[in-house]
Amino acid sequence: AMRQDIVMANLTDKRGHVAEVFAGIRVLLNSRQYVDHSHSVLVVSSGPEDGKPITACNLAIACAQRGMRTLLVDFDLRRPRIGRIFAIPDTSRRLAEILHKRDPSLFAQLPQKTACDNLHVIASRTIKNVNPSDIFGGGFVADFLAWARANYDGVISLSAPNAMGEN
């Protein structure tokens, strides 16, 4: 199947194998054992093309379909994809811009509605002459995540490869 079909499989085929797998992951994350730690989930990998958008999108859709007010955040500032996947207009505010401005009053302008009830996404884009590492420095990202957790039942974030310092 095409990557685009797989990345939205949970939305387009609610009873398919992919939907079943991600529903199982959602159930596990919401179990008594993990519920206190799974309000915010970061999808990472050690390299490109490992399926991070597929995992993050389908998990976010599974949570939203179960009635959880869910936010999907594209923290991949090197190769942001969430905006294209969900057809977010280029004119909308993007995560990298707001993080670079360091203005928390703009957080509420970031989430965009999607075709999936209960799912909002925050897209990003690269910014010329700005290193993504500089954007993540300091405590501003922590302020953003605190805002997201306060406003959503679940926050699914997608990171760039090697986000955990792996080489």
Q: What is the pTM of this model?
A: 0.85
Mean pLDDT confidence for 43-61? 86
Mean pLDDT, to the nearest integer, of 18-25? 77
Residue that wins the pLDDT comparison between 7 and 150: 150
How far, in Å, CA of 129 to CA of 127, rounded?
Answer: 6
CA distance readout (Å), 143 to 76, 92, 140, 150:
18, 21, 5, 11
Residue 167: its pLDDT value, please? 38
Give ∠ CA 37-114-156 in degrees, rounded to 5: 15
What sign does the dihedral 15-18-20-26 (CA atoms) show?
negative
How far is the C-alpha of 147 from the C-alpha of 157, rounded, in Å?
A: 14
Q: Each residue of 130-160: pLDDT tens digit?
A: 788 788 776 889 999 999 999 999 999 998 7
Burial category of 61 from C-beta neighbours within 10 Å (exposed 0-12, middle 13-18, buried 19 and up) = buried
Q: Which residue has the tokens 């959503």?
A: 152
